[in-house]
């Protein structure tokens, strides 16, 4: 059995993460900054996703579609400096994986910034195959795909749509992805896909039957005002930050600082 805890001098590879399927659930969180990445590594998180969600939760953008490769490389570098011994997955932003050549150049840039693997949305079998053929580890993503989705409704609720998602999951795995994110799909569909694949599935709003779970760190920490219906808050740091700032304002204005 593969031990999820890595020594201070080693980190998980695509191969060791794939071996965790059926042995130990895989916790994954996003990070975008050095201090948060350092905390996650100290907490024993085996995989950090530097997601294009950074655009919405850190940059104030309306969607992930406005995130660029430059943004992603910047944040991957920050996370790598905070978590040198953790496997980092870097998101390929919209259109940076539109064809094999573009995807290869984009992936190489994220790897150079500090990523160990890259994630892309949708059943892009040709692109995945080309990346894997060049020795680049790829994480797939199906179900709700925010880069192209018209809304954030659950995907796969009717039979036809469920079949499409299951088919896409199989295509992504067959193309060579070593792990698959399943986002906002019914629990029963996620369970079915997880059982059918030889690679680990990582759920976000996909029920408890996936091989692992991922959440956006800002949701976990309660940094913000609105959270997706499938997120979980483990703290409410937004309130703590506001209260700390209010205390500072009070001391300065009362000349008690």
**∠ at Cα 185 (225, 89), nearest 5°?**
70
Structure tokens at 128: 């995945």
Give me the residue label for tokens 């740091």: 237
**What's the CA gap between 85 and 46, in Å, rounded?**
9
| 54 CB-near residues (< 8 Å, 6+ apart) | 30, 32, 67, 71, 72, 75
Task: Catalytic residue, from 41, 121, 168, 183: name it.
Answer: 183
**What's the CA gap between 64 and 228, in Å, rounded?**
15
**What's the CA gap between 33 and 75, in Å, rounded?**
6
Verify whether residue 41 is a known catalytic residue: no
Contact of 142 with 123, CB cutoff 8 Å: yes
Catalytic residues: 183
């Amino acid at each position: 059995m593969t031990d999820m805890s890595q020594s201070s001098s080693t980190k998980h590879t695509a191969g060791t993460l794939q071996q965790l399927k059926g042995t130990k659930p895989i916790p994954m969180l996003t990070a975008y900054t050095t201090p948060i990445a350092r905390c996650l590594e100290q907490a024993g998180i085996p995989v950090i996703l530097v997601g294009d969600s950074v655009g919405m939760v850190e940059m104030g953008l309306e969607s992930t579609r406005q995130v660029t490769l430059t943004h992603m490389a910047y944040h991957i570098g920050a996370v790598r400096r905070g978590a040198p011994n953790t496997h980092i997955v870097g998101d390929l932003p919209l259109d940076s994986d539109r064809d094999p050549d573009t995807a290869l150049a984009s992936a190489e840039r994220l790897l150079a910034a500090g990523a160990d693997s890259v994630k892309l949305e949708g059943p892009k079998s040709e692109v995945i195959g080309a990346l894997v053929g060049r020795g680049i580890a790829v994480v797939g993503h199906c179900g709700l795909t925010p880069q192209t989705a018209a809304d954030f409704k659950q995907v796969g609720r009717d039979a036809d749509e469920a079949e499409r998602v299951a088919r896409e999951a199989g295509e992504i795995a067959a193309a060579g992805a070593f792990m698959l994110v399943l986002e906002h799909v019914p629990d029963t569909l996620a369970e079915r896909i997880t059982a059918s694949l030889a690679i680990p599935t990582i759920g976000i709003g996909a029920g408890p039957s996936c091989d692992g779970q991922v959440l956006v760190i800002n949701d976990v920490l309660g940094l913000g005002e609105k959270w997706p219906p499938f997120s979980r808050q483990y703290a409410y740091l937004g309130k703590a930050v506001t209260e700390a700032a209010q205390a500072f304002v009070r001391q300065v204005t009362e000349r008690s600082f």
